[in-house]
Amino acid sequence: MLASPVSLALTALLAPGAVALLLAVATPLRNRKSAIVLSVLAALSSLVAAILLVKGQLTPTPPQLLTVPWLLQGGVPFAEIGLRIDGISASMLLVVTFVASCVQIFSVGYMHDESPPAQGRYFTYHSLFLTAMNILVLAPNLLQLFLGWELVGVTSYLLIGYYYRKPSAAKAAVKAFWVTKFADMGLLIGLLVLRSKTGSFDWDATITPQAANLVTLLLFVAVMGKSAQFPLHIWLPDAMEGPTPVSALLHAATMVAAGVFLIVRGWPLFELAHSTRAFMLGLGSVTALLAATMALFQNDIKKVLAYSTCSQLGYMIAALGAGSLLGGFFHLTTHAFFKALLFLGAGSVIHAVHSNDLRDMGGLARKMPVTTLTFVIGALSLAGLPGLAGFFSKDLILEAVGEHGFSLWLVLLLVSAFLTAFYMGRLLLRVFFAPATEKSSHAHESGGFLLLPLGLLAVPALATGYFGGMFGQLYGTAYHFHLGNIGILAAGLGVLGLLLSYVLYRHRAEHPALLAPLGRLIEHGPMDRLYEGGFHRVALPFAALVGWIDRYLVDGVMNLTGLAFIVSGQKIRRIQTGIATDYVLATVGGVLALLLYGVMR
């Protein structure tokens, strides 16, 4: 062992943190290529530290804590901040730093045409994001997790709005921020309830099942926002306005998975909360199905992947709801790899075709062999083709859900597994194997900076499934793979979905007659309609009411206060005569008053 786990974790945390701080402060550094070099180096050193950390955790060790008292109140700390190093945080750290490193290297090529200051800004945000994510992952209690949670929210806002001159990007950033902030209220309230019930922010404090239900339900509201669960998923497709590598890192692999990680981390609480978990199972399954349906009819390559992310996050939530900690986290890991791979592949394609639209693509398999190969690996892994990473983790989830007997949720998840394979098949055919279009005919393979991360991510997307035992070890639970009926069924459905999409979309871009009405419905956006309806009937009158209260009561008070300050300011302004002796008078008066006060005491 080269270094102690604590120093390794500190390295992983502080390397990007220092770089983010340095780049934020030192404009000359930020405006040059040095920003890129520093940021990538920091990410890579985090990655090395994470690898060593995981290596150390493979032998069973008790969790290591390094905490500092924080917010002392009369000598008693209100909370603690610090590090917690155990199998869960180490493996999550590895996932985060690995994907972040890949994405940053990819970004070097992808953002090449941006101006140096814009690139510097971009990489500064990336370093900040990595820091925030590491704060979240290494949190020893829920309070610090909340800190990291909010910080990643901010960086998400900044990165979605990276093209801030584009109105749609700015709007999407604000939407993402508001929806997740709204959900985060749940986390904040949940934290306070937890504190009042147990007297600490620790997730392993003793708590009654009833209180655990309340707390976890509140926490889960925040998870619904961050991990884009129905009905709070609406921000995620819009978040695709950000640069594609950002979508890969934040909105597919790591940040949206933070919600799942929160549940994994807070497992001692969630384990007790049976009602919350039942709700999670239902909601996760419904989200998985709904999002998969929506992904089917999208024509924007990134939106297909975004809905797919929603759907897969639904899987993880459902797994945790069914009580399978390992299933949820395993799928988080494999999904992080193959979905980041898919997004980066999509980025490579977009870079070549200069369009997001599936209808502009086609025939790229010959022109971009490496991108095609890696993308196919990612897609098949997502579709759950036996032997690839996604198959193992999805199987684990389905087994866990099916453990309690045949249920509606299992059916939903199986159907969405089928749909997943179906829409991924359609995506592959449209992008790579359909006849070339005018735009795609000029495409050519991307450069090394773009291809290296694709290659790097393709390896775990292929092979993570065979390391289930290792994950089990990190989690302290046994993992044995066995192919049950459900696994065979899921694999069969996946293959069926791929075959069906091949049959249906081999020769045409349009949806077949049977699916067309559904497609039209979804293209018009049932969710948007629902929201619009709800918006007009419920939300708008409510908003009007709130607006009235705000305008006439709250603002009235505020305006009066403001007015009072303005008027008094105008009066007080006369004191500032600008004449030196007047200032002397004021000084003397002040000194005398102080003297008098001192004498009186």
Partner 1 sequence: MTLGLCLILSAALFCIGLYGLLTHRHAIGLLLSLELMANATNINLIAFSRFRGDSMGQVFALFSIALTVTEVVVGLAIVILLHRAYRDARVGRASEFRH
Partner 2 sequence: MIEQVGFGLVAGCIVLAALLVARAKNAIHGVLWLGVVLGATAVLYVMLRAPFLAGIQLLLYVGGVMTLMILGVMLTRHDQHEAALERKRPWLAGVLSLFLLGMLVTAIQTSPELHASEAAPATVKDIGRSLLTEHVLAFEALSLLLLATMIGAIVLLRRDRPDRLVEESR
Q: What residues line the site for partner 2 (CB under 8 A)? A: 581, 585, 588-589, 592, 595-596, 599
Residue 533 or 589: the one with the smaller Cβ distance to partner 2 is 589
Told to check if 580 binds partner 1 by CB under 8 A, we report yes
If DSSP codes are grouped into helix, strand and coil, which group holds residue 196? Answer: helix
Residue 545 or 596: the one with the smaller Cβ distance to partner 2 is 596
Binding to partner 1 (CB under 8 A) within 37-96 occurs at none
- Could you tell which of partner 2, partner 1, none binds residue 192, using a CB distance below 5 to 8 A set by kind? none
**Interface segment toward partner 1; rule CB under 8 A; list 251-259, 420-428, 485-493, 583-591:** 583-591
CB of 591 to partner 2, least distance (A): 9
- Could you tell which of partner 2, partner 1, none binds residue 517, using a CB distance below 5 to 8 A set by kind? none
Residue 484 or 590: the one with the smaller Cβ distance to partner 2 is 590
* Per-residue contact string for residues 105-134; x = within reach of partner 1 by CB under 8 A: ------------------------------
Residue 75 or 578: the one with the smaller Cβ distance to partner 1 is 578
H/E stretch holding 76 reads strand 76-85
**How many alpha carbons fall within 13 Å on the CB side of residue 4?**
8
CB of 588 to partner 1, least distance (A): 7
Residue 448 or 590: the one with the smaller Cβ distance to partner 2 is 590
Residue 524 or 573: the one with the smaller Cβ distance to partner 1 is 573
Torsion over CA: 342, 348, 351, 353 (sign): negative
- Could you tell which of partner 2, partner 1, none binds residue 199, using a CB distance below 5 to 8 A set by kind? none
CA distance 521 to 517: 6
* Counts of helices then strands in the chain (DSSP H, E): 27, 2
- Could you tell which of partner 2, partner 1, none binds residue 542, using a CB distance below 5 to 8 A set by kind? none
CA 232 to each of CA 174, 190, 298: distance values in angstroms, whole numbers, following the listed order: 14, 18, 19
Residue 74 or 569: the one with the smaller Cβ distance to partner 1 is 569
Told to check if 559 binds partner 1 by CB under 8 A, we report no
CB of 588 to partner 2, least distance (A): 6
Torsion of CA 499, 502, 504, 506, to 10 degrees: -160
Angle subtended at Cα 391 by Cα 456 and Cα 474, rounded to the nearest 5 degrees: 70
**Interface segment toward partner 1; rule CB under 8 A; list 166-174, 292-300, 466-474, 574-582:** 574-582
CA 241 to each of CA 163, 245, 348, 595: distance values in angstroms, whole numbers, following the listed order: 8, 11, 16, 63
CB of 564 to partner 1, least distance (A): 24
**Chain centroid to CA 215:** 22
CA distance 570 to 113: 51
Told to check if 588 binds partner 1 by CB under 8 A, we report yes
Single out the residue of 199, 406, 581, 600 in contact with partner 1 (rule: CB under 8 A). Answer: 581
Say if CB 476 and CB 87 are below 8 A apart.
yes
Say if CB 269 and CB 207 are below 8 A apart.
yes
- Could you tell which of partner 2, partner 1, none binds residue 552, using a CB distance below 5 to 8 A set by kind? none
Quote the DSSP letter at residue 83.
E
- Could you tell which of partner 2, partner 1, none binds residue 578, using a CB distance below 5 to 8 A set by kind? partner 1
CA distance 16 to 181: 25
Single out the residue of 72, 579, 599, 600 in contact with partner 1 (rule: CB under 8 A). Answer: 579
- Could you tell which of partner 2, partner 1, none binds residue 580, using a CB distance below 5 to 8 A set by kind? partner 1
Residue 304: closest CA among 408, 392, 378, 204: 378
Angle subtended at Cα 448 by Cα 443 and Cα 452, rounded to the nearest 5 degrees: 115
Residue 73 or 581: the one with the smaller Cβ distance to partner 1 is 581
Q: Which residues contact 591 (CB under 8 A, 6 or more apart)?
A: none
CB of 577 to partner 1, least distance (A): 6
- Could you tell which of partner 2, partner 1, none binds residue 595, using a CB distance below 5 to 8 A set by kind? partner 2
Residue 1 or 579: the one with the smaller Cβ distance to partner 1 is 579
- Could you tell which of partner 1, partner 2, none binds residue 596, using a CB distance below 5 to 8 A set by kind? partner 2
- Could you tell me where the DSSP H helices lie in 363-484? 364-367, 369-383, 389-402, 408-428, 448-463, 468-475
Residue 478 or 579: the one with the smaller Cβ distance to partner 2 is 579
**How many alpha carbons fall within 13 Å on the CB side of residue 54?**
22
**Interface segment toward partner 1; rule CB under 8 A; list 22-30, 365-373, 533-541, 579-587:** 579-587
- Could you tell which of partner 1, partner 2, none binds residue 405, using a CB distance below 5 to 8 A set by kind? none
CB of 576 to partner 2, least distance (A): 17
Residue 369 or 589: the one with the smaller Cβ distance to partner 2 is 589
Single out the residue of 507, 578, 600, 601 in contact with partner 1 (rule: CB under 8 A). Answer: 578
- Could you tell which of partner 2, partner 1, none binds residue 599, using a CB distance below 5 to 8 A set by kind? partner 2
- Residue 437 in tokens: 């279009």
Single out the residue of 496, 560, 585, 594 in contact with partner 1 (rule: CB under 8 A). Answer: 585
- Could you tell which of partner 1, partner 2, none binds residue 496, using a CB distance below 5 to 8 A set by kind? none
Q: Exposure string (b/e) for 547-570, b if CB count within 10 Å is 16 or more? A: eeeeeeeeeeeeeeeeeeeeeeee
Residue 25 or 580: the one with the smaller Cβ distance to partner 2 is 580
CA distance 425 to 504: 10
CB of 573 to partner 1, least distance (A): 9
Residue 196 or 577: the one with the smaller Cβ distance to partner 1 is 577
Single out the residue of 62, 576, 598, 601 in contact with partner 1 (rule: CB under 8 A). Answer: 576
CA 136 to each of CA 96, 261, 266: distance values in angstroms, whole numbers, following the listed order: 11, 9, 13
Residue 400: closest CA among 467, 484, 333: 484
Told to check if 584 binds partner 1 by CB under 8 A, we report yes
Told to check if 577 binds partner 1 by CB under 8 A, we report yes
479 phi/psi in degrees, rounded to 5:
-130, 120
If DSSP codes are grouped into helix, strand and coil, which group holds residue 384? Answer: coil
CB of 571 to partner 1, least distance (A): 16
Amino acid letter, 452: L
CA distance 249 to 453: 12
Task: Kindly list the residues in this chain that would bind partner 1 in the complex (CB under 8 A).
Answer: 576-581, 583-585, 588
